[in-house]
Structure formats: C-alpha cells, structure tokens
Amino acid sequence: MADYDVVGDVHGCLHTLRRLLAELGYHQDGSHPDGRRLALVGDLVNRGAHSEETFIFVMRLVGSGRASVARGNQDLEWAGTHPDLGRWITSMPLQLLVDEGRLLIVHAAATASIIGRTDAEAERWCLHGNPTAGPDGSEHRPDWQATYDGAPFVVAGHSVVRHPRFREAGGGSVIIDTGASHGANARDRFTGEPFEGYLSAFRWPERTTLSVPTDRRDLAS
C-alpha cells in the first residue's frame, strides 16, 4: 500500500502551499523522508495572488517525479491565456488512480462508470461535477458523494466546504477544497455557512486531514 498526501484547490496560494507541505513533512524539493507521495486535485491557479508562480512550482515537482496533479477546470481555462504552458496543462490527467486502484484523485466528482475514461462525459464529471440545468436555466450540481457507487476511495476538490466532507457511499469519498483563496468570504457550497478559508490535505491510507490557515500574502487585493 502506498502512502499519499493529497492537497486541495490551491488557487495561486503559493506561500500557503509551501507551509502545508512543510507541515506534512516534505522537503523543499518535494521529497518526503518517509517516502510519501504528493498529489493535488487541480485548480492550481486563479483567485489567489500567485497563480503563475504556483503553477511553475507544481510543474517542477511533477517534472521531477515527486508529485502528481489532476487537471482542474480553472487550470484548463488558464491555458487559453498562457499558451506557453498550455500544452502541459492539457496533458494533465483527468484522473489519478493510484495505490493499485484503491485511491482515485479527481478535481470535481466521480461515478463508477467514468473511472479510467477520458471522453466528454468523463471530462464533465471530473472537471465540473456533472452539472445539470435547473427549471429556470440555472446550473445545478448534484451531491455526487451521496450516489457514488465506485470501488476506489475518491478525493476531490472544486466544491468549497467548511470542513473536509467525508461520505461513505461506494468506496467512500472526501471533498477537500476548504476555500484557501477566498479569505473571509468563503462559504460552504452545501450549507451556505460562511467561514475563513484555509488549505487542506488528505492523508492516505490514514484517512485523516491536515490543514493550515491561508497566508495573507496569497490573497489577491
């Protein structure tokens, strides 16, 4: 069994990310004394003050073989304005299925039928959480965790939550986007509760989380 630390949506909060990695025991080069592996759920950019620096930092960790990252919807949108990095962004995988299939890392959501797929339906699930149009034309994102029916444990971000949101359906799941880039304006997507955003990581196989407050230098003015 492999040991992983999966980081939630960073959104340009580089100082906060560095602090979280240090709290998790990682060296500056992304290595870990216990051989743990680093992964991220995507949305490395936008909202925070250090998008490009964050992206380059993570890209170097991936290039060195010390990290893996799933593609987020904000990363893909950012590719259109940064053509020099666009090819690397579009090569980011939609899904990371690791630890002999026990752990699935995606950006937004998963269901059993899309695991291992890269078609349009799988992309919609992985990047946006399979949104549907409501009666008034507004976007509705169902609670995918309640109906998840796959075998792997799923780690996702995308939906801001006040606390990491664990659910037991299927092989289990957790959402770990705790609104790092939102500052005092974070609001839980499911309950509407306001809170001060922070950055979280999920530890596997322990199934625990570790969090750090957002560094104020990372908040866009």
Ordered by where they begin, the domains of the chain are 8-151+158-218 (3.60.21.10)
What's the whole-model pTM score? 0.94
pLDDT per position in the chain (221 positions), as tens?
679 999 999 999 999 999 999 999 999 899 999 999 999 999 999 989 999 999 999 999 999 999 999 999 999 888 878 777 888 888 899 999 999 999 999 999 999 999 999 999 999 999 999 877 666 666 677 899 999 999 999 999 999 999 999 999 999 999 999 999 999 999 999 999 999 999 999 999 999 999 999 999 999 76
Q: How far is CA 136 from CA 72, 129, 142, 160, in A?
A: 27, 19, 16, 24
> Sheet harboring 4-7: ordered strands across?
67-69, 37-40, 4-7, 198-204, 208-213
